[in-house]
C-alpha cells in the first residue's frame, strides 16, 4: 500500500471535527461577505484619504438618524424593561438562595436531632450508643461522598477557589451545571448533617453561583440575548458570590465584602449595588423564614450576643486583644499548612494513594469514624464538649457570662448547652484547650474529605474557643476588671470569643471582612476596635507566612491562577517586562506557507499565534487562534479538495498504475524554505506508513465517505502516492488567510512596562498572554506562566529570566531605550531610502532586536 504522510494521519483523526466546523465557518463567512458587501455598497468605506473619509462619515451620520428617530422611543421602552430584568434576576436569585439556605439548615437540624434522639434513646447500653453515634455520620458522609462522586465530582470541596478562577476569566467546564447544583446541595446537606466539623459558607458561594448560572440560562429564552453576554454573566456571578455568603450567615454587608476579598483581584464599584441588593434581599428572606416558622419573634442576628453596651471593654485590655490577634495569625497559617500537608502527604504516599483511588469511599468513612469516635460524649468527648453541634458550641462560647469566675460548675444550669462544658473532675480551661486542639486537627483533616464542604465555620468555631480561653484567663487574672477608678466593670470573655473567631477566620482566609461578618452574626458592633485590631494583626502575620486557604487549594488543584503581589514587595516595581518575556515568539507571517503552519501546529502547543507582516519587519498585525489555523490546514488538505484532485487525476490518468510515478523527482519546487520535513517524509514514509495505511483508509472511509464515494475511493487507492505528492504541493502553497478569524488588536505591552503594571493589567483584563512590541514590532510574549514565575521568583525555566534584585537600582528615567532609537532610525532609513548614518554608535549589528 502506498504511503500517507504523517500530517495526514493526524488530520485524519481530527477530520470529522473540523469538516463540521469548516462548514459552519463557510456559512458564516458567506453571510459576512454578503452583509459586508451590502454595507460597502452603501458607500460607507469607499475612500482612502483621511480627509475624504471624515467627510464621508458625516454623510453616514445623517443617514441612519432619520430612520432611527422612530425606533428610538421603542428601544427606550425595551431598555427600561431590561433594567427591570436585573432587579428581577437579583430578587429571584436572592429568594432562591434564601430558600435553599433555610431548607438546608432545617434538614441539617433535623439530621442532628435524629442523631441525638437515637443516641439519647439508647442510654442503657453504651456499646449500642456508640454504634448509633458513629454509624450515623459514617453513613451520611459516605453517602455524600459517593453521591457527589457519581453525579458530579466537581461539587467536591469549597468552590471558592474555582469561583475565583472563573471570575478571573478562565472557563472551567462542568462547574456551573445543574448536575453539579444537585450534587452540591444534597451532598452538602448530608455532610453537614453528619455533625463533622465542616462549614457551609464556601459551598454556598458555589451553590449561589450555580443558581445564578442556571437562572441566567433559564431566563435567556424568556428575555432574550442579554443573558448571553459574557461581561454581564461575570457581573451576575460576582453578585451571586455575595448572595452565597450573605444568606449563609444572614450577613449582607459582610457577605458582599467577604466575597469581594475572596474572589476578586480588582473590583468594579459599579457592581457593588448588585451584591448589596441581592445579599440584603436574601438575608432578609432567610431571616423572615425563621420568623414565619416561629423560631424567632422578629428578625435578629443569627448568633445574638448580649454584651453590655455602656462599657464593652477597657482600653487596657487592648494588648490582650492584640496578642490574641497575633496568636490567631500563627494559628491560621498553621491550619493552612496542616491542611496542605495532609493532602500532599496522601498524594505522595503511593500505596495510600493507590488504595484511596480504588476505594474512594474508604477515606471519608475512616476519617468520619475516627472523628466521631473521639467526640463520643461518654468517651473522650466529655472532655471537649463533643455532644454539642457547631451552632450550640458557638452560642455557648459567645455567652456574656464568665465561666471560670465562681468556680467551674456554678452558673451552668439554665441552658442545656452549657453543661457540656462543665465536667466534674476537669477544669474548664482544660476542656477549652482540648476542644481547641482536637477541633483544630479534626477540621484540617475533615476538610480534605471528598465531600462538598467548607472550612470557614470550623475555623470560626476554633477561633471562638481560643478567644474564650484567653478571655477566661483574663477574667481569672483580673476578677474585678482592669478599670481603676470608680465602678467595677468585669471582663467579658464572650467578647474575646468574638474577637478570636473573627481573627482566626480572617487569618485562614486572608480577609478583613470577617470583622464585619461577626458584627452581623452577633448583632453587636461594640467590640469593633478590638476586632479590627486583632483581624488586621492576624492577617499581617498569616499573610507573611502562608497563602490563604483558597489560594493554597488553587495551587493544590493546579487551577490557572495568578498569584497576588505580596504586600510591600517593592522590587516588583523595578522588574520590567523585558526581563521576563519569552523572546522566542512563535509567529506566522503573511507569506507563510501551509508547511510553516503544519510545523507550527506540530511543534508548539500555544493556543494563539502571532501574525506578523514579515519575519524581516516583524510588525505585529494580529493573532490567530490555533483552532483557526488547524481548520485552515485541514481545509487545504481536506476531503473536498482531495476528492477534487482525485477526480481530476482519474480523468487525466484513467487506470494507469501510479507506482512508476514514484521514480519521478518527488521533491516539489518549493517556494518555502523549510523542506527538511518534506525530504524525510518522502524517504521514510513509504516503508513506515504503508502497513498502517490499509486500516486507516478503511477508517477514513467509514468516517466520512458515503458508500458511493467509498467505492470510487477504493478504486482510487492506487493514486495514493500521487496524493502524497499532491499534499506536498499543497503544503508549499502560501496560506490564504481570507477565511480565518484574526484578532486584529491583541493586547500589547512595551519592554519597559513594570511587573507591577503588567500584573495589574493581566488581572484587570483577565489576560492569558500579551505580546511585547517595540515600535509596532513584535519582540516577545508574556503569558500567565512567565508572570507567575516572575512573581514567585523562580528563574529555573530556560528562556525566562527574572531580573535580579539589583534592577531596583536601575535608572528609571529612560523611557526610550537605545534599541528603539536605532530601530526607528532603521525604519526611517528604509522609508527614505537613505544610507546608514556615520555615527559610530549606531553599528548595524547592534540593531538586532
- List the interface residues with a second copy, window 386-405 (CB under 8 A): none
Which parts of 221-250 interact with a second copy (CB under 8 A)? Answer: 225-226, 229, 231-232
Cβ-based nearer residue to a second copy, 64 or 479: 64
Rounded to a whole number of angstroms, the minimum distance from the CB of residue 136 to a second copy is 36
- Would you say 727 and 700 are in contact if contact means Cβ atoms under 8 Å apart? no
Cβ-based nearer residue to a second copy, 50 or 150: 50
Which parts of 792-811 interact with a second copy (CB under 8 A)? Answer: 795, 798-799, 801, 804-806, 808, 811
Cβ-based nearer residue to a second copy, 440 or 519: 519
Which parts of 411-450 interact with a second copy (CB under 8 A)? Answer: none
Sheet holding 748-749, edge to edge: 748-749, 769-774, 777-783
Cβ-based nearer residue to a second copy, 558 or 809: 809
By CB under 8 A, residue 54 contacts a second copy: yes
CA 490 to chain centre: 48
Cβ-based nearer residue to a second copy, 661 or 817: 817
Distance CA 608, CA 610 (A): 7
Q: Among 85-93, 172-180, 418-426, 700-708, which window interacts with a second copy (CB under 8 A)?
A: 85-93
Binds a second copy by CB under 8 A, chosen from 149, 505, 773, 783 = 773
Cβ-based nearer residue to a second copy, 95 or 795: 795
By CB under 8 A, residue 57 contacts a second copy: yes
The dihedrals phi and psi of 98, each to the nearest 5 degrees, come to -60, -45
Distance CA 269, CA 73 (A): 30
Distance CA 731, CA 724 (A): 11
Cβ-based nearer residue to a second copy, 210 or 239: 239
H helix or E strand, kind and range, residue 472: helix 456-477
Rounded to a whole number of angstroms, the minimum distance from the CB of residue 709 to a second copy is 29
Cβ-based nearer residue to a second copy, 200 or 287: 287
The DSSP secondary-structure symbol of 684 reads H
CA 642 to chain centre: 43
Q: Among 114-122, 202-210, 270-278, 601-609, which window interacts with a second copy (CB under 8 A)?
A: 270-278
Distance CA 286, CA 190 (A): 20
By CB under 8 A, residue 59 contacts a second copy: no
Binds a second copy by CB under 8 A, chosen from 750, 784, 785, 788 = 750
Rounded to a whole number of angstroms, the minimum distance from the CB of residue 389 to a second copy is 24
Binds a second copy by CB under 8 A, chosen from 334, 338, 361, 512 = 512
Binds a second copy by CB under 8 A, chosen from 162, 520, 728, 786 = 520
Rounded to a whole number of angstroms, the minimum distance from the CB of residue 406 to a second copy is 25
Cβ-based nearer residue to a second copy, 389 or 522: 522
Distance CA 122, CA 376 (A): 13
Q: Among 103-111, 153-161, 268-276, 629-637, which window interacts with a second copy (CB under 8 A)?
A: 268-276
User: How many other CB atoms are there within 10 angstroms of residue 392's CB atom?
Assistant: 17
- Would you say 78 and 71 are in contact if contact means Cβ atoms under 8 Å apart? no
Cβ-based nearer residue to a second copy, 192 or 517: 517
Rounded to a whole number of angstroms, the minimum distance from the CB of residue 93 to a second copy is 15
CA distances from 15 to 54, 346, 647 (A): 47, 42, 20
CA 154 to chain centre: 13
- Would you say 480 and 490 are in contact if contact means Cβ atoms under 8 Å apart? yes
Binds a second copy by CB under 8 A, chosen from 171, 291, 341, 659 = 291
By CB under 8 A, residue 644 contacts a second copy: no
Closest to 551 in 3D by CA, of 565, 569, 563:
563
Rounded to a whole number of angstroms, the minimum distance from the CB of residue 801 to a second copy is 5
Contacts of 279 (CB under 8 A, 6+ apart): 94, 242, 243, 245, 246, 247, 252, 253, 255, 256
By CB under 8 A, residue 83 contacts a second copy: yes
One DSSP character per residue, 54-105 reads HHHHHHHHHHHHHHHHHHHHHHHHHHHHHHHHHHHHHHHHHHHHHHHHHHHH
Total number of residues that touch a second copy (CB under 8 A): 168
One DSSP character per residue, 158-188 reads -SHHHHHHHHTT---TTTTSHHHHHHHHHHH
Which parts of 468-507 interact with a second copy (CB under 8 A)? Answer: 483
Binds a second copy by CB under 8 A, chosen from 13, 16, 23, 36 = 36
| Torsion sign, CA atoms 344, 346, 348, 354 | negative
Closest to 476 in 3D by CA, of 429, 434, 517:
429
User: How many other CB atoms are there within 10 angstroms of residue 529's CB atom?
Assistant: 14
Distance CA 169, CA 166 (A): 5
Residues in the chain: 849
Rounded to a whole number of angstroms, the minimum distance from the CB of residue 776 to a second copy is 5
Cβ-based nearer residue to a second copy, 249 or 363: 249
Cβ-based nearer residue to a second copy, 299 or 688: 299
Cβ-based nearer residue to a second copy, 181 or 277: 277
Which parts of 327-386 interact with a second copy (CB under 8 A)? Answer: none
Binds a second copy by CB under 8 A, chosen from 207, 211, 260, 716 = 260
Rounded to a whole number of angstroms, the minimum distance from the CB of residue 777 to a second copy is 9
Cβ-based nearer residue to a second copy, 21 or 571: 571
Rounded to a whole number of angstroms, the minimum distance from the CB of residue 488 to a second copy is 12
Distance CA 528, CA 168 (A): 33
Which parts of 727-746 interact with a second copy (CB under 8 A)? Answer: 734, 737-738, 740-745
Which parts of 293-322 interact with a second copy (CB under 8 A)? Answer: 297-301, 304, 306, 309-315
SS3 at position 553: helix
Which parts of 612-631 interact with a second copy (CB under 8 A)? Answer: 613-615, 619-622
By CB under 8 A, residue 71 contacts a second copy: yes
Cβ-based nearer residue to a second copy, 345 or 828: 828
Contacts of 766 (CB under 8 A, 6+ apart): 168, 169, 170
Binds a second copy by CB under 8 A, chosen from 393, 608, 774, 783 = 774
Supply 301's cell numbers.
442576628
Binding string, residues 86-125; x marks residues near a second copy by CB under 8 A:
xx--------------------------------------
Cβ-based nearer residue to a second copy, 649 or 761: 761
Contacts of 622 (CB under 8 A, 6+ apart): 610, 611, 742, 743, 744, 745, 746
3-state secondary structure 526-545: CCHHHHHHHHHHHHHHHHHH
Which parts of 538-597 interact with a second copy (CB under 8 A)? Answer: 539-540, 564-565, 567-571, 573, 583-585, 590-591
Distance CA 380, CA 734 (A): 78
Cβ-based nearer residue to a second copy, 310 or 652: 310
Rounded to a whole number of angstroms, the minimum distance from the CB of residue 720 to a second copy is 32
Binds a second copy by CB under 8 A, chosen from 28, 174, 410, 644 = 28
By CB under 8 A, residue 818 contacts a second copy: yes
Nearest-10 crossing angle of helices 493-509, 390-397 = 130
Cβ-based nearer residue to a second copy, 322 or 366: 322
One DSSP character per residue, 100-120 reads HHHHHHHHHHHHHHHHHHHHH
Rounded to a whole number of angstroms, the minimum distance from the CB of residue 748 to a second copy is 5
Rounded to a whole number of angstroms, the minimum distance from the CB of residue 654 to a second copy is 32
Amino acid at each position: 500500500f502506498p504511503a500517507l504522510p504523517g500530517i495526514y494521519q493526524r488530520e485524519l483523526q481530527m477530520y470529522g471535527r473540523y469538516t463540521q466546523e469548516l462548514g459552519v465557518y463557510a456559512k458564516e463567512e458567506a453571510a459576512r461577505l454578503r452583509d459586508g458587501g451590502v454595507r460597502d455598497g452603501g458607500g460607507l468605506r469607499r475612500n482612502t484619504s483621511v480627509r475624504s473619509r471624515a467627510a464621508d462619515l458625516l454623510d453616514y451620520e445623517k443617514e441612519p438618524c432619520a430612520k432611527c428617530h422612530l425606533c428610538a422611543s421603542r428601544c427606550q421602552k425595551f431598555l427600561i424593561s431590561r433594567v427591570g430584568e436585573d432587579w428581577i434576576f437579583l430578587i429571584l436569585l436572592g429568594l432562591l438562595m434564601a430558600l435553599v439556605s433555610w431548607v438546608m439548615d432545617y434538614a441539617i437540624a433535623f439530621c442532628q436531632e435524629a442523631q441525638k434522639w437515637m443516641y439519647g434513646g439508647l442510654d442503657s447500653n453504651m456499646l449500642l450508643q456508640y454504634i448509633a453515634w458513629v454509624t450515623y455520620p459514617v453513613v451520611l458522609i459516605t453517602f455524600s461522598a459517593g453521591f457527589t462522586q457519581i453525579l458530579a465530582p466537581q461539587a467536591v470541596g469549597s468552590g471558592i477557589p474555582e469561583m475565583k478562577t472563573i471570575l478571573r476569566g478562565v472557563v472551567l467546564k462542568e462547574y456551573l451545571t445543574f448536575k453539579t447544583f444537585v450534587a452540591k446541595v444534597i451532598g452538602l446537606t448530608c455532610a453537614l448533617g453528619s455533625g463533622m466539623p465542616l462549614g457551609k459558607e464556601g459551598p454556598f458561594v458555589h451553590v449561589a453561583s450555580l443558581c445564578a448560572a442556571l437562572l441566567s440560562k433559564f431566563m435567556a429564552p424568556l428575555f432574550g440575548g442579554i443573558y448571553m453576554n459574557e461581561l454581564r454573566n461575570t457581573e451576575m456571578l460576582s453578585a451571586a458570590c455575595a448572595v452565597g455568603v450573605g444568606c449563609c450567615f444572614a450577613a449582607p454587608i459582610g457577605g458582599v465584602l467577604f466575597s469581594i476579598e475572596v474572589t476578586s483581584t480588582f473590583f468594579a464599584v459599579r457592581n457593588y449595588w448588585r451584591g448589596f441588593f441581592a445579599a440584603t434581599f436574601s438575608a432578609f428572606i432567610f431571616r423572615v423564614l425563621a420568623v414565619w416558622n416561629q423560631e424567632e419573634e422578629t428578625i435578629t442576628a443569627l448568633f445574638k450576643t448580649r454584651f453590655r453596651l455602656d462599657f464593652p471593654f477597657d482600653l487596657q485590655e487592648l494588648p490582650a486583644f492584640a496578642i490574641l490577634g497575633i496568636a490567631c495569625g500563627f494559628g491560621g497559617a498553621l491550619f493552612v499548612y496542616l491542611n496542605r500537608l495532609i493532602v500532599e502527604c496522601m498524594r505522595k504516599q503511593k500505596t495510600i494513594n493507590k488504595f484511596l483511588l480504588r476505594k474512594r469511599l474508604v477515606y471519608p468513612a475512616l476519617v468520619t469514624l475516627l472523628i466521631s469516635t473521639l467526640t463520643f460524649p461518654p468517651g473522650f468527648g466529655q472532655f471537649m464538649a463533643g455532644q454539642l453541634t457547631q451552632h450550640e458550641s458557638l452560642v455557648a462560647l459567645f455567652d456574656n457570662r464568665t465561666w471560670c469566675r465562681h468556680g467551674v460548675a456554678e452558673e451552668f444550669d439554665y441552658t442545656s448547652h452549657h453543661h457540656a462544658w462543665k465536667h466534674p473532675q476537669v477544669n474548664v480551661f482544660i476542656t477549652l484547650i482540648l476542644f481547641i486542639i482536637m477541633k483544630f486537627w479534626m477540621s484540617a483533616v475533615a476538610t480534605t474529605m471528598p465531600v462538598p464542604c467548607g472550612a470557614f465555620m470550623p475555623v470560626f468555631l476554633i477561633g471562638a474557643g481560643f478567644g474564650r480561653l484567653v478571655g477566661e484567663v483574663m477574667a481569672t487574672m483580673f476578677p474585678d476588671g482592669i478599670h481603676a477608678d470608680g465602678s467595677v466593670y468585669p471582663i467579658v470573655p464572650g467578647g474575646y470569643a468574638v474577637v478570636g473567631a473573627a481573627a482566626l477566620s480572617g487569618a485562614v482566609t486572608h480577609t478583613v471582612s470577617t470583622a464585619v461578618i461577626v458584627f452581623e452574626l452577633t448583632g453587636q458592633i461594640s467590640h469593633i476596635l478590638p476586632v479590627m485590631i486583632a483581624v488586621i494583626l492576624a492577617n499581617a502575620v498569616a499573610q507573611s507566612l502562608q497563602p490563604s486557604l483558597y489560594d493554597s487549594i488553587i495551587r493544590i488543584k493546579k487551577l490557572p491562577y495568578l498569584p497576588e503581589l505580596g504586600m510591600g514587595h517593592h522590587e516588583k516595581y523595578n522588574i520590567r517586562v523585558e526581563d521576563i518575556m519569552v523572546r522566542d515568539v512563535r509567529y506566522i507571517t503573511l507569506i507563510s506557507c501551509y508547511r510553516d503552519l503544519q510545523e507550527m501546529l506540530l511543534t508548539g502547543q500555544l493556543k494563539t499565534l502571532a501574525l506578523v507582516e514579515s519575519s524581516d519587519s516583524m510588525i505585529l498585525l494580529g493573532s490567530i487562534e490555533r483552532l483557526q489555523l488547524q481548520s485552515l490546514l485541514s481545509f487545504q488538505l481536506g476531503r473536498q479538495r482531495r476528492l477534487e484532485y482525485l477526480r481530476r487525476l482519474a480523468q487525466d490518468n484513467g487506470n494507469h498504475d501510479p507506482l512508476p510515478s514514484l521514480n519521478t523527482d518527488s521533491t516539489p519546487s518549493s517556494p518555502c524554505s523549510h523542506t527538511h520535513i518534506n525530504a524525510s517524509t518522502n524517504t521514510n514514509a513509504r516503508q513506515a506508513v504503508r502497513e498502517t495505511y490499509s486500516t486507516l483508509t478503511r477508517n477514513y472511509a467509514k468516517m466520512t465517505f458515503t458508500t458511493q464515494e467509498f467505492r470510487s475511493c477504493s478504486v482510487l487507492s492506487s493514486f495514493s502516492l500521487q496524493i502524497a505528492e499532491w499534499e506536498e504541493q499543497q503544503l508549499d502553497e502560501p496560506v490564504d488567510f481570507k477565511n480565518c478569524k484574526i484578532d486584529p488588536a491583541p493586547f500589547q505591552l512595551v519592554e519597559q512596562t513594570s511587573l507591577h503594571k503588567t500584573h495589574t493589567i493581566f488581572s484587570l483584563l483577565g489576560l492569558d498572554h500579551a505580546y511585547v512590541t517595540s515600535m509596532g514590532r513584535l519582540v516577545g510574549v508574556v503569558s500567565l506562566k512567565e508572570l507567575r514565575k516572575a512573581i514567585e521568583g523562580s528563574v529555573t525555566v530556560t528562556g525566562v529570566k527574572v531580573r535580579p534584585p539589583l534592577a531596583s537600582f536601575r535608572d528609571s528615567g529612560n523611557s526610550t531605550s537605545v534599541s528603539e532609537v536605532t530601530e526607528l532610525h532603521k525604519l526611517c532609513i528604509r522609508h527614505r531610502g537613505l544610507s546608514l548614518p556615520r555615527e559610530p554608535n549606531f553599528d548595524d549589528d547592534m540593531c538586532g532586536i
